[in-house]
Amino acid sequence: MYYFRDDLQQKKPINIDVPHKKTMMCLNESSLNPLERIQTEFLEKMKNVPLNRYFNNITGQLKNALSEYTKLPADHLIFGNGADEMLFTIFNAVRNDNNSFAVSLAPSYFDYKSYSGAVGLGMKFLYLDENFDFSVDEYLKLCDDENCKLAVLCNPNNPTGNLLPDEKIMQILENFKGLVLIDETYFEFSGKTFADKINLYPNLVIVRSFSKSFSSAGLRFGYIISQPQNIRELEKAMTIFHLNLMTQSFVLTLLENKDIFLNHTKQVIENKQVVFNELNAINGLKVHPSATNFLTFTIGEKTENLYNFLAENDIAIRAVWHHPVLKNHVRVSISNANDNAQFLNYVKKFMSKFYE
């Protein structure tokens, strides 16, 4: 006797398959532990947040602080357990029946497919070209179906690292009748946002995260920006009290000390340029420009050998070669100066075997 949705039998569990090494440069995490910087302030705040209660005014304080940070009214915002829960909520809210589907570019964030599948929402993909660009006409053609409920755009795109052309995003916003989701997880690194256009487009919804620029991947905090009528509907697809008060208190403390983390982001951007220049100077290696905190690169057929060589030397990077557009490519997260130097040293050591 099978007790669950028929299509779940064909699905694999959601899993992140990365090597676990001493130097983790595979999941676009920050090298800065935020607790070390704001522990005193956070613990002081927690004195007024009794965890035996459901309600606390910390929730309103956080929404006001996030409103100030985004420069948007509080009724344009909802937050939850990471950008992933926000994606899951949106996918769940737009799914109408078994024929419903979303459209995404590919390769893009790996778990769009995982989370859409988890709620029974289909997903159709338009492949990026060799320059990581796409035909907006082809994209809109895929969306031109009454069962298409959502257009997904990751900007800047993960794992390619590039920003999508503004004019193409605008065309999609203006010509697709359904909801348009722009994933701005790397907004603080790219400096690019469509949040200033949120009141121009009733079909626009933006997802962001504190995992990257606010150095809090393990905290799990993300938020949605959209017009108030969309926020109200999305809240209906969320559980009550879904974000614990301790997380809310920590995020509020992060925002009250945001300069620490935004300055760290600036340092990561500078570090990225150093790593890019070093990789770009290596004969036989091609590295792509990036508006994120990672770089995607290839050395051709020997890329997997390099990946394994780094793992053998306790450095984990991410294999992204599973999609044909990124054949033989890997992705490295930018870390602190020491980690970056160690990574570059081993890459050069490996490449010296082939290019004297």
How far does Cα 272 stand from its chain's mean position? Answer: 18
10 domain residue, yes or no: no
Specify whether 231 is located in the same domain as 282.
no
Specify whether 115 is located in the same domain as 253.
yes
Domain boundary among 210, 242, 257: 257
| pLDDT at 117 exceeding the cut of 80 | yes
Specify whether 215 is located in the same domain as 165.
yes
CA separation, residue 189 to residues 96, 216, 264, 340 (Å)? 35, 15, 11, 18
Q: What is the pLDDT of residue 19?
A: 87
Instruction: Tell me the whole-structure pTM to 2 decimals.
Output: 0.97
| pLDDT at 356 exceeding the cut of 60 | no
| pLDDT at 10 exceeding the cut of 90 | no
Specify whether 252 is located in the same domain as 306.
no
Which backbone phi and psi does 273 adopt, to 5 degrees?
Answer: -65, -40
The whole-number average pLDDT for the span 240-266 is: 98
| pLDDT at 64 exceeding the cut of 90 | yes
CA separation, residue 348 to residues 23, 282, 286, 306, 353 (Å)? 17, 7, 13, 10, 9
Specify whether 253 is located in the same domain as 310.
no
Q: Which of 282, 305, 292 is nearest to 332 (CA)?
A: 292
CA separation, residue 5 to residues 98, 120, 121, 236 (Å)? 11, 9, 13, 22
The whole-number average pLDDT for the span 278-290 is: 97
Q: Domain of 52: which CATH number? A: 3.40.640.10
Specify whether 163 is located in the same domain as 111.
yes
| pLDDT at 46 exceeding the cut of 90 | yes
37 domain residue, yes or no: no
Q: Domain of 333: which CATH number? A: 3.90.1150.10
Specify whether 232 is located in the same domain as 175.
yes
Q: How many CB atoms lie within 10 A of CB 324?
A: 9
Domain boundary among 221, 241, 257: 257
The number of folded domains in the chain is: 2
Q: What is the pLDDT of residue 354?
A: 73
Specify whether 151 is located in the same domain as 275.
no
Q: Which of 324, 342, 323 is nearest to 334 (CA)?
A: 342
Q: What is the pLDDT of residue 319?
A: 97
Specify whether 214 is located in the same domain as 92.
yes
* Mean pLDDT taken over the chain: 97
| Domain membership of residue 26 as a residue range | 19-32+259-351
